[in-house]
Structure 1
C-alpha cells in the first residue's frame, strides 16, 4: 500500500512508518516545513492547504496530527488550540479526499479514550456511550470531522490510551521513576488505559489492512490496569523504589480540570473490536510494555 501520514514525525508516526516500511509498504509524509526528501510533501493545515492530488496516489491516509494534551495548564486559549489543531488537520485531509477522482480506500484518524470520560467500575467497549468533560467533547468533534471523508472511504477512529513509548505521557514519568519519585496518584485505584508503542502502531497497520473494521476502535492493552499497577510496573522496570504518594487535592489545585481528566479519571477500556478481529498483542500486560520501554531507552 501507499500510505499518506499526517504527524509522521511524532512518536507514534515514527514507529508506524518503520513498521509499514518493514512490511513493504510505501510511506508519504506530510510536513509543515519545506520538504527535504522525495517522500515528504508540504501541507499547512491551519490554512487548509494541501496538494489534493496526493489523495489520488494514496491507498490509505493516517491522521496523527494535533497539539499535545500533556502541555499544562489547559488555559482557555490552549483548549481552543487543542481543538483547532485536530479539526484543521482532519478537515484539510477530508476536504482533499472529496476532491480526489479516486479517494483513498481507508482513512485512520486519531482519537482518544477521553471520549468515555470518568467511568469508574464500568467496562468500556466501542459501544459505550459518550462521557462528560472537555476531552469527551473534543473527541466527539474530532471523530465527527473524520467521518466527512467520502462515502467510498472506510473510516476508523482510533481511541488511544496512554502510549507506553519514549515520549508522550512517559516522557516526564520515566525520569521520575529513575529518581525513585513515583508513587500512588490519588490512591492509584483509577484505571488507566495503556498500550505499548509497538502495539499502537501495529494496531493501526492492522486497521489499514483489515476491511472489516470501521468506526471507533479502542487502542488499549488487553489487560486493564490501574494507575497504581502502571506506575509500579515502571518503577520495577528501572529497579527503583515506589511509594511517594501524590494526593488528589494537590493534583486538583495544580492542574485543575486537566489533572482530573488526565490523571484522576477511571477508564477500564477494552479493545473489543481488535480482539474480535483477531489482532494479536505483542505486549499483553503493562509490565511487558514497561520492560520494552526501559530496554529501548
Structure 2
C-alpha cells in the first residue's frame, strides 16, 4: 500500500514508518517545512493548507498529529493547543480527502482512551459512553473531525493508552525511575490502560487491512494498575519504589493533568481488536517493559 502519515517523525510515527517500510509499503510523510525528498509532502495543518491531490495518490492515511499530553503543566494556553492541534490537523486531512477525485480507501485517525474519563470499577469498551473532563471533551471533538472523511473511506479512530516504549510519557517515567524518585501516585490502584510500542504499531498496520471502522481501543489485553506499571519498572531498573505522592500534592503541582493523566482509573478492553484477529506480542505490562528496556537507547 501507499500510506500517507501525519506525525511520522513522532514517537509512534517513527516506529510505524519503520514497520511499514520493512513490510514493503510505500510511505509518504507530511512535513511542516519545505519538502526535501520525494517521500515528503508539505502541509500547514493549523492553516488548513495541504495539496489535496496527494489524496488521489495514496491508499491510506494515518493521522498521528497532536501536541504532547505529557508536556506539563497544562496551562490554559496549552489546553487550547492540545485541542486545536488535533482537531485542525484531522479536519485538514478529512477536507482534503473530500476534495480528491479518488479518496483513499482507509483513514486511521489517532484518538485516546481519555474519551472515557475517570471510570473506576467499570470495564470500558468502544460502546461505553464518553466520560467527562478536558480529555474526554478533546477526544469527542477530535473523533468528530475524523468523521468528516468521505463516506467511501473506511474511517477508524484508534483510542490509544499509555504506550510502553522509549518515548512519550514513558521517557519521563523512566528518567524519574533511573534517578530513584519513582513513587506511588495516589493510591496506586487506578487502572492505567497500556500498550507496548510493538503492539501499537502492529495494531495500526493490522487496521490498514481490516474491516473495522469507528472507534477501536488500542490497549494491552491484561489490565494493570499504576502501581503495577511503576513498581515493575523500578524492579527491572533496580531502583527503589518506596515513595508515595498523595493525590492532593499531585493536584497542587500538576493541576488538572494529575486528575486526568495520573489518577484517572480506566480499565479498558481490547476485545474488539482481538475478535478481529489481532494477536498481541506482549500480553502483560511486564513483557512490554522488558522489551522497552532491552532496546539500545537511541542516539539523539
TM-score (norm 2): 0.97
**2:93 matched residue in structure 1:** 93
1:1-297 equivalences under 5 Å are: 1-210=1-210, 212-296=211-295, 297=297
SS of the equivalent of 1:61 reads strand
1-side partners of 2:268 and 2:103: how far apart? 32
C-alpha offsets along residues 99-126 of structure 1, whole Å, 9 cap, x if unaligned? 0000000100010000000000110111
SS of the equivalent of 1:130 reads coil
Conservation of the 8 A alpha-carbon contact between 1:126 and 1:272? no
- 1:169 Cα offset (Å): 0.8
C-alpha offsets along residues 245-270 of structure 1, whole Å, 9 cap, x if unaligned? 11111101111111100000000011
SS of the equivalent of 2:107 reads strand
SS of the equivalent of 1:74 reads coil
1-side partners of 2:6 and 2:170: how far apart? 22
Does 167-176 or 143-152 show the bigger shift?
167-176
TM-score (norm 1): 0.98
SS of the equivalent of 2:84 reads helix
SS of the equivalent of 2:120 reads coil
Conservation of the 8 A alpha-carbon contact between 1:192 and 1:224? yes
Please identify runs of 4+ aligned residues in structure 1 that moved more than 2 A.
Answer: none
Say what the alpha-carbon RMSD is for the aligned residues.
0.8
Conservation of the 8 A alpha-carbon contact between 1:218 and 1:269? yes
Please list every run of 5 or more consecutive structure 1 residues that lacks an aligned counterpart in the other structure: none
- 1:199 Cα offset (Å): 0.6
2-side partners of 1:153 and 1:31: how far apart? 23
Conservation of the 8 A alpha-carbon contact between 1:213 and 1:273? no
Please list every run of 5 or more consecutive structure 2 residues that lacks an aligned counterpart in the other structure: none
- 1:179 Cα offset (Å): 1.9
2-side partners of 1:79 and 1:190: how far apart? 23
2-side partners of 1:237 and 1:107: how far apart? 38
